[in-house]
Amino acid sequence: MSTSGSAFVNFIDVQKSYDGETLVVKDLNLPIRRGEFLTLLGPSGSGKTTTLMMLAGFEVPTHGRIELDGREINNVAPHKRNIGMVFQNYALFPHMTVEENLAFPLAVRKLSKADIDRKIENALAMVQLSQMRKRRPAQLSGGQQQRVALARALVFDPKLVLMDEPLGALDKQLREHMQLEIKHIHQSLGVTVVYVTHDQGEALTMSDRVAVFNDGAIQQLASPADLYEHPQNSFVAQFIGENNRLSGIVTELNGSHCRVKVGDAGEIRALPVGISNVGAKTTLSLRPERVRINPGDGACANQFEARVEELIYLGDHTRARVQVLGHANFVIKVPNSEGVPDLEPGSTIRIGWRAEDCRALDAF
């Protein structure tokens, strides 16, 4: 019987080691809901791909168990798990046409010719490639090949679809288009998707929840908005989006707020996250778009003089690099919705931010 409650997929105390000493995945407990789009996000070597390969059946856990729909699958062969897979290199059969590639997983399952034809037609319509069924992979663009790979993973109505860096080989514009295509297909089918990427923008765009991996462990599991707005440690804050980091010492702690001394330059009011005592070292995390230029009196608990070092115009906003509190690489994103801000390199400006927008995290 399953101990996973409402989880459709569940990793329970899972570990993985290749050499018997170093754990690539450490004590993983990860419940995945039926129908959700979950992304495993992290740098190279963080354990995310190994986790996906264990779920696919290509790797076996060293310890713990994996359940799929209430059934332990540790010793179930990959082809018996009813899981669709999409890889970065597409893994299409080059000598087969598009429809022959899609027919292969159906023929293995011994479906009738009528059922095979119907499912192929539906799958090609879903990825808008009905006119390409007689072409071979070499006659398709990279984006079209990826659509075929996606259709093949979905054509046999799998319980679960796993995607391992599927858009990594595409150019930026096509990759962004395919992100939305995959998201829309997921929403229309309601299939459970587990997606691996190192691209944080991709994870934020596509996912219901994101599991951020580092050093073989999940650092935080949350919705994209929660990860960005409420990182629980310095690694997550630094890995998700752009982030200003200031190191300091906690000088006051009163529950909802704290004060942090940054060098000899001043004190900052911040929101403590996991900070337990005065005197603790901390890393302050502050998003560039949360910083205001020339804030009014009382608008921001933290206000300081800053020297403008560099300005980069980026269309919808200007990226200003300033020197403040002894830090020369402090970044501000200034929206250009009301024209380009009147800033000049070398000028002195006043900047500020609210205490609740600045998080005091573990020292990084």
- pLDDT tens digits along 299-327: 899 999 999 999 999 988 999 999 999 89
Band (pLDDT 50/70/90 cuts) for residue 4 is very low
Residue 178: C-alpha distances to residues 42, 74, 145, 202, 211 (Å): 21, 32, 12, 10, 21
d(C-alpha 307, C-alpha 286), whole Å: 18
Domain region containing 251: 244-362
Tell me whether residue 239 is in a domain: no
Higher-confidence residue of 337 and 257: namely 257
Confidence (pLDDT) at 343? 86
Contacts 24+ apart (CB under 8 A), 289-293: 289/317, 289/333, 289/335, 290/353, 290/354, 290/357, 290/358, 291/244, 291/332, 291/333, 291/351, 291/352, 291/353, 292/351, 292/352, 292/353, 293/332, 293/334, 293/341, 293/343, 293/349, 293/350, 293/351
Band (pLDDT 50/70/90 cuts) for residue 340 is low
Confidence (pLDDT) at 2? 39
d(C-alpha 111, C-alpha 105), whole Å: 9
Band (pLDDT 50/70/90 cuts) for residue 146 is confident
Higher-confidence residue of 90 and 32: namely 32
DSSP 288: G
Same structural domain for residues 21 and 158? Answer: yes
pTM for this prediction:
0.89
Of 234, 268, 295, the residue at which a domain comes to its end is 234
Same structural domain for residues 41 and 171? Answer: yes
pLDDT (mean) for 276-297: 92
Q: At what angle do helices 142-154 and 113-126 cross, to 10 degrees?
A: 130
Higher-confidence residue of 143 and 53: namely 53
Tell me whether residue 114 is in a domain: yes
Q: Total domain count for the chain?
A: 2
The phi, psi pair for 258, rounded to 5°, reads -145, 165
Same structural domain for residues 185 and 69? Answer: yes
How is 201-243 classified by DSSP, letter by letter?
Answer: HHHHHH-SEEEEEETTEEEEEE-HHHHHHS-SSHHHHHHSS--
Give me the CATH number covering residue 129: 3.40.50.300
DSSP 15: E
Do 93 and 104 contact (CB within 8 A), yes or no?
yes
CB-neighbour burial class of residue 285 (10 A; exposed 0-12, middle 13-18, buried 19+): buried
Confidence (pLDDT) at 1? 34
